[in-house]
Structure 1
Amino acid sequence: MTENIELTHQQKRAFQPQKLSAPRDFTIPSVIKNSNSNMPLVLEIGAGKGKHALSFAAEHPDKHLIAIERTRNKFEAFTKQFEQRLPDNLTPIHADAIAWTVHALPPNCLTSIYLLYPNPEQHNLNQQWLNMPFFEFLLSRLQIGGTVILATNIDTYMDNAVEQASTVWALPNKRYKIAIESQRTHFEVKYLARRETCWELVMTKPQGYKTRFDDWCANNV
């Protein structure tokens, strides 16, 4: 058993959650407020038009997914599909994911986090998820044994993510080639139809893992 894992990142610039304002019209979903709920809580950042979110909710009735999308037109398309099905274990959120996560989620509340085909930010590498100071805060919201699932069709993005996961974040991880028949998101369908290689990285938060935000909560959480 590993105890008190020290992050290389803790020697670098820290994320500053106290400087972020809550999103417009912000409310905390009842599934988070209800501390008596035993349903595992899952987060998807960048849900797009909701293809993965809706499928996940249907396939995992024992889990509750919070799916965040910032872009208005994608979120509206997501909402239309959601309203046709109204799964009670899915909560769509239209907001900036960083500000929303800071103000809505308490520490140690998530069992999984999905980052499926994020913007590769090839001209601003500091904005890739595992390069951002915010990633440490995100890990503080994840339970021990929980997973972060990242998917991309960009080889260099995946190569960097594997290196960062191992050397900076000290996360046990496995890299997989995504099966050609997979259809989790609209991007995944498009890329695989082009015969592009898509990759998935599964990172696990190990026993004894510590971040600088394990005890930090926004005033409204």
Structure 2
Amino acid sequence: MNNQDVTQRREIKSYVMRAGRMTPGQERGLEQGLPRYGLRLEEGVLQPQKVFGRQAPLTLEIGFGMGQSLLQMAKEAPEQDFIGVEVHRPGVGALLSGMLTDAVDNVRIYSCDAIEVLNQCVADESLDRVLLFFPDPWHKSRHHKRRIVQPAFAALVHKKLKQGGVLHMATDWEPYAEHMLEVMNAAPGYKNLSVDNTWVARPAERPVTKFEKRGTRLGHGVWDLKFTKITG
């Protein structure tokens, strides 16, 4: 499957653009942070060494929400570089505001569709990790086609990962976890890092969000899946 095939399949979006009121901090983040830390599709293929001024392990997070987890990961791993992709502007502004406040310099941001970023801006075999935490599960059966985790997505991520690179996903919706597992266990070129070919224990490097803590108190589960690229 080539990039054109994936792009055509992606005419059905995995997200809905929602209008959201911007806080003063988010507006500040966009105004002051986006010119410094923002990346654009029209800039073409990303050159990480040029963007970050160094050679370092590179992680791409798809759909970082309000950015708390990505900001924490970047602060705790200053020796690594991170690319965040998020379509919702309040979340982009929130992350940028946090980066400015905490002087975090190892994150860059795309505010657009993640599949377009993967297709147009990420070189093949350039990523050490791809993170997909709590994507929209699209609960209703008629909406399952909107779920981002599909065979075409698995194939595209596989192209962009380095040999030995890892796709790490997490969800709090068990039917979606089962869907992810089914798609990824059937995807060529991956190995499930779970000892029993299902889920992994929550990795220490994935921050626990306030939303997740609240869900845990209510008895909700969270499922982490890790798959590594084993063939080119």
- Band of TM-score, shorter chain: 0.7 to 0.9
C-alpha distance in 1 between matches for 2:184 and 2:111? 28
Structure 2 residue runs without a partner (length 5+) = 12-38
2:183 to 164, 180, 183: 164
2:82 to 60, 65, 71: 65
1:63–1:122 Cα change, 3 Å:
same
The question of whether the paired residues in 1 share the 8 Å contact of 2:134 and 2:172 is answered with yes
Query: Are 1:199 and 2:197 an aligned pair?
Result: no
C-alpha distance in 2 between matches for 1:69 and 1:151? 17
C-alpha distance in 2 between matches for 1:193 and 1:93? 33
Question: Which residue of structure 1 aligns with residue 100 of structure 2?
Answer: 83
Structure 1 residue runs without a partner (length 5+) = 1-9, 210-221
Residue 49 of structure 1: SS of its match in structure 2? coil
Identity %: 22
- The residue identity in structure 1 corresponding to 2:160 is R
The alpha-carbon deviation at position 99 of structure 1 amounts to 1.2
- What does the per-residue CA deviation read over 1:12-52, in whole Å, with 9 as the maximum and x for residues that have no partner? x94247x99xx977435662646984201100001111111
Residue 133 of structure 1: SS of its match in structure 2? helix
1:139–1:168 Cα change, 3 Å:
closer
2:43 to 27, 46, 49: 27
- What does the per-residue CA deviation read over 1:185-207, in whole Å, with 9 as the maximum and x for residues that have no partner? 3432332232211110001110x
- The residue identity in structure 2 corresponding to 1:119 is D
- Given the two structures, how large is their TM-score scaled by the length of structure 1? 0.75
Higher relative contact order (CA 8 A, sep 6+): 1
The question of whether the paired residues in 2 share the 8 Å contact of 1:46 and 1:69 is answered with yes
* Structure with the higher fraction of residues in helix conformation: 2
> How many equivalent pairs are there?
192
1:187–1:46 Cα change, 3 Å:
farther
C-alpha distance in 1 between matches for 2:60 and 2:147? 18
- The residue identity in structure 2 corresponding to 1:107 is D
1:31–1:68 Cα change, 3 Å:
same
Query: Are 1:126 and 2:145 an aligned pair?
Result: yes
The alpha-carbon deviation at position 172 of structure 1 amounts to 1.4
- What does the per-residue CA deviation read over 1:149-194, in whole Å, with 9 as the maximum and x for residues that have no partner? 1000111111111121112345211212448xx7433432332232
- What does the per-residue CA deviation read over 1:39-84, in whole Å, with 9 as the maximum and x for residues that have no partner? 0110000111111111111111111011111111222222211211
- The residue identity in structure 2 corresponding to 1:41 is L
The question of whether the paired residues in 2 share the 8 Å contact of 1:117 and 1:153 is answered with yes
Which piece of structure 1 moves more, 129-138 or 90-99?
A: 129-138
Query: Are 1:15 and 2:6 an aligned pair?
Result: yes
The question of whether the paired residues in 2 share the 8 Å contact of 1:125 and 1:131 is answered with no
The question of whether the paired residues in 2 share the 8 Å contact of 1:150 and 1:202 is answered with yes
C-alpha distance in 1 between matches for 2:41 and 2:186? 39
Question: Which residue of structure 2 aligns with residue 110 of structure 1?
Answer: 127
- Given the two structures, how large is their TM-score scaled by the length of structure 2? 0.72
C-alpha distance in 1 between matches for 2:163 and 2:74? 23
The question of whether the paired residues in 1 share the 8 Å contact of 2:62 and 2:86 is answered with yes
- Superposed CA RMSD in Å reads 2.9
- The residue identity in structure 2 corresponding to 1:94 is S
1:109–1:36 Cα change, 3 Å:
farther
- The residue identity in structure 2 corresponding to 1:113 is V
